[in-house]
Amino acid sequence: MQTEKIFDTLTKKFGNDVTPILEAAPSEPFILVKADKIYDVCLFLRDNSELDFDYMMCLTGVHQKPDLGVVYHLYSIKHKHKIVLKTFVSIDAPNVPTVERIWRSADWHEREAWDMYGINFEGHHNLIRILCPYDWEGFPLRKDYVTPEEYHGMRVPY
């Protein structure tokens, strides 16, 4: 299915909650989704037999000042089409519903996004740090992150 058609299907279903944004190549066109609707949109994307996005390629946290964002790269193995979803939340209340129950691969991706950006995935069964130590403070990939001087008495910048 063409990207435009996917966009049409989505706008028909969700109305104002989704905003398709077509970008010039090589950037991929994406759909901006309101954060609280992301679960419904994803569920629709996976379960609709015409869309059938059964494979989640990537879930990335981003920090595009001033907001935190989550980028979902989805892929349909059957129909061989892709789609990019984006959602942005304010850095003060970075709450995004989890899609862990839709694609299990989102589990660790979301933990990583929490680890690096502090994006709180509501409803995630085990939202703890994954790459940083469990007691690490701060969210390292935020643009305003300041590297701490010490961690348990060890100097951090070598």
Partner 1 sequence: MAEKKTFEMEYSKVDTERMRLNVGPQHPSTHGVLRLEVELDGEIVTEVVPHMGYLHRCFEKHCEAMTYPQCIPYIDRLDYISSMNNEWPYVMGVEKLMGIEVPERVEYIRVIMAELNRIANHQIAVATFGLDAGAFTPFLYYFRDREEILAILEKASGGRLLYNYFWVGGLAADVHPTFKQECLDVIKHIRATNAEVTNLLIYNKIFIDRTANVGILPADVAINFGCSGPVLRGSGFPLDLRRAEPYSIYDRFDFNVVVGKGEVGTLGDCWDRNIVRMGEMEESCKIIEQAIAQMPDTGDVQEKLPKKIRIPKSEILSRAESPKGDLGFYIVGNGTDKPERLRCRATSFINLSVLPEISKGYMIADLILILGSIDIVLGEVDR
Sheet holding 18-21, edge to edge: 18-21, 30-33, 81-89, 67-76, 55-64
Q: Which residue of 88, 103, 114, 121 would you call a contact of partner 1, by CB under 8 A? A: 103
The whole-angstrom separation of Cα 110 and Cα 120 is 9
> Which residue stretch of 2-10, 37-45, 88-96, 106-114 sits at the interface with partner 1 (rule: CB under 8 A)?
106-114
Contacts of 96 (CB under 8 A, 6+ apart): 35, 38, 70, 87, 89, 119, 120, 121, 122
Could you say whether residue 60 binds partner 1 (CB under 8 A)? yes
Number of residues that bind partner 1 (CB under 8 A): 33
Interacting residues of 70 by C-beta distance below 8 A, sequence separation 6+: 38, 59, 60, 61, 62, 86, 87, 89, 96, 113, 119
When binding is defined by CB under 8 A, the residue of 32, 55, 67, 151 that contacts partner 1 is 55
Position 47: which residue type? D
Which parts of 4-43 interact with partner 1 (CB under 8 A)? 23-24, 26-28
| Of positions 80, 125, 152, 155, contacts partner 1 by CB under 8 A | 80
Segment near partner 1 (CB under 8 A); pick from 9-17, 31-39, 90-98, 127-135: 127-135
Enumerate binding residues for partner 1 (CB under 8 A): 23-24, 26-28, 54-58, 60, 62-64, 71, 73, 77, 80, 84, 103-105, 107-109, 116, 129-133, 140-141
